[in-house]
A and B are shown apart, each in its own frame.
Chain A
Amino acid sequence: MNRKNILKSDYACQYRAADSPVHRLPAGWKMLLSTVLSVCILVTREPAPLLLITALCFAYYFFAGLTLSDLWRDTRIFLIQFCILLALFLYQYGYPDGIWPGVRTSIQIVLFFIPGIVFLRTTQVSSMMKGLRGIVPHRVLFLLFTSLRFVPFFARETQEITMAQRLRGARLSPCDIRRTVFWRDLFSCIILPLLVRALKTADEAALSAEARGMGARKERTYYDARELERYLAESRENSHPPDKGDSGKLS
């Protein structure tokens, strides 16, 4: 992938199917490991330990089979906070005293989220829900994880709506950002249509969930992704591929 493609958009923090040591870890262990790493990052202040934790974080990230371009997609949003924080520290402490604390704090914020990103990238929603079922009500989990599923969808919608409105004359280019018209157009031309789309999509998603039995019973079961993989492997080993014979027939 060339540099331009790395810089262009794709979707961050979405599950990425791969067979890595991190993927194979149970969700609970991953959650524990991610929490420990994030806490370590939060409490570290000195450069040497921070460097060590940074190395551990990246090792965790790349052991998960994720790539540099994935890292860029997952963390580029933090560039905004990096710039804002650095500017604030420089304003507060002046140059050069504000640089190191500004850079350190910004990097710590990025690093704090990386273990969580690895968790999202390597854990299927079913495993997360299964792991959290005793702690959080299923309806809340469903709401949370379905929202995650629609993040890329709304990212795409926002892009398309912005493009359509700019073609109609909406002043939404970065050079208009300091003008009142930018903020007015941002609300009326982007946020309003996006809200309408969001409400409609939520309505359709709710209908789809209801049609598939969501909320029909108090309890529910959870399939086991690893059991399913084993079942598939066994089917293949027994030279009885599921796409042949009776397993394709719906009884």
Chain B
Amino acid sequence: MLEANDLTYTYAGESLPALENVSFRVGPGECVCFCGHSGCGKTTLLLALKGLLHEGTLEGEVRHGGGLPSGGDILSGFGLVFQNAESQLLCSTVFDEVAFGPENLCIPPSEINRRIVQALTAVNLLEFGNRNVERFSAGQKQRLCIAAVLSMHPRVLLLDEPTSQLDRKGRNDLLAVLSGLKEQGISVIIAEHNIEPFVGLIDRYYTMSGGSITGVLDHPPEQYRCGHLNGSTVHQPRRAAAYGSTLISAENLSVSYPGNPAVLDNVTFSAMKGELVHLHGENGCGKSTLLKAIAGAIRPDSGHLWVGNKDFPDTGELLGKAALLFQNPQRQLFEDTVADEVAFTLKRLKLPPEEIVHRVRSALALCEAAHLSDRLPLTLSFGEQHRVALASVIAPDPELVLLDEPFAGLDPTQRLRLLKTLSRLREERGTTIVIASHDPLPDAEWADRIVVMENGRCVDKTDFG
């Protein structure tokens, strides 16, 4: 039994605690979930349990098996899997990665071999032992991270937003793994703001807000179930009849990469002016590549592409007319202030200064980020950075906005807020918007049309117009 009593933690230099009087219990083979919006203290709680909060002040106690665990007990007995699989994989091959923890614990080599086999078997990756981790999908990387922790034989597994990067298949594989671990008596603690994938697995829910536990439930709290947002839809009127002419027309587009000869395989896709399109499909199905091709960032191997008035436009020709927002906003933020960040493209378009000021204000207001205007972009929270990045791509008033996995890392409220902003963008400016995501949209009624992609092809289209 794991028991936390009155855990309170304040980060160094902060006056308000990030965790406040957090108490809970988890039995062997139990799975509990801490759910709450971004910044509610979920990740801090997991770091506190794992003993990774070195600065700041931690009060309260954690008991495991009836006593206070020593540093060594915490090290091997509590396994923490971080949110970002990419940065926590430290070795080049699967075997090396899984051996890393036991090697640090001075486990004898013969025992490490046994543990590697056990851990990789548990996550169904044994056959990939010699594989370079770079070749893995997001789901495989996540499972490998779990294996790398399991090889240390933890009794408590801590998972920080484990499905944020995973598609349906990756999630199902992960759920099967977690279910098996529960059966083996391992306690599983999940910190998540989208509990929907785990509802069949979780025994108890702790809702968190402002660093405190605000409720304990034995049924899933509805507000944290993406896709089950009762009454929270953005309800935009369908505008099919009011569509203008065709803005994007792609016919038989094909794109190949080394080792992947058909990333796009004769894809035919179109979008009308002012249309809201959801491009839906699993990771690796070609959604991002299609968006990049439309934005002129990559040149297709064959086929025909027409965007606006241009055949195969390049990035220069589409500057200010089409915009692509990538998944991680940090990739594009570099200016000293939010206002400068949003003005960057406008300056490159050589617009008059007064026009630039007007458009920056307008874009920030639309994205509900006007109050951040003088802040340094890199010091903002993830959700705020996301809004600033969106403002910077819509500031030139493009006819077409393409968004690649825009919901990753956003909590349900932020996701709905984003959809509302995009709806307003269409309503006020008639912008065509294409969202590529592996998840269904938080509001199923938002898109005018859903295009499903699979293995580099568009396999299904649902038109609500």
Contact = CB atoms under 8 A, between A and B. Distances in A.
B268 interface: no
B119 interface: yes
Given A164-B332, A213-B75, A247-B117, A221 B109 contact: yes
A10 B107 CA distance: 36
Closest 6 CB pairs of A and B: A169-B348, A213-B104, A17-B130, A208-B88, A204-B87, A212-B101
A223 B138 CA distance: 26
B167 interface: no
B132 A208 contact: no
A220 B103 contact: yes
B426 interface: no
A250 interface: yes
A4 B178 CA distance: 42
A227 B112 CA distance: 10
A222 B296 CA distance: 49
Interface string B304-325: 0000000000011011100110
A189 B124 CA distance: 41
B92 interface: yes
Nearest to A181: B348
A167 interface: yes
Point out which of B119, B130, B295, B319 has the most chain A C-beta atoms below 10 A from its C-beta: B130
Nearest to A228: B113
A250 B331 contact: no
Interface stretch (B144-152, B227-235, B408-416): B144-152
Contacts of B106: 217, 219-221
A99 B116 CA distance: 54
A14 B132 contact: yes
Interface string A229-251: 00110010000001100011111
Interface string B99-124: 11111111111101110111101101
A183 interface: no
B50 A211 contact: yes
A27 to B, nearest CB: 13
B132 A15 contact: yes
Contacts of A75: none
Interface string A1-35: 11011101111001111000000000000000000
A165 interface: yes
A60 to B, nearest CB: 21
A219 B108 CA distance: 12
A146 B134 contact: no
A224 interface: yes
Q: How large is the interface on A (under 10, 10 to 19, 20 to 34, 35 or more residues)?
A: 35 or more
A150 to B, nearest CB: 8
B332 A222 contact: no
Given A160-B331, A210-B52, A250 B88 contact: no
A160 B119 CA distance: 33
Contact of A242 (B50, B101, B118, B323): B118
Contact of B76 (A160, A209, A213): A213
Given A228-B113, A247-B121, 20 more contacts: A5-B259, A9-B258, A149-B91, A149-B92, A160-B326, A204-B82, A205-B87, A207-B52, A207-B82, A211-B50, A211-B80, A212-B148, A213-B76, A213-B101, A223-B95, A223-B99, A232-B117, A235-B117, A243-B126, A250-B122
Contact of B332 (A11, A168, A171, A207): A168
B86 interface: yes
A17 B93 contact: yes
B331 A161 contact: yes
B345 A231 contact: no
Contacts of A221: 102-103, 106-109, 112
Interface string A155-179: 0010011011111111101000000
Nearest to A215: B104
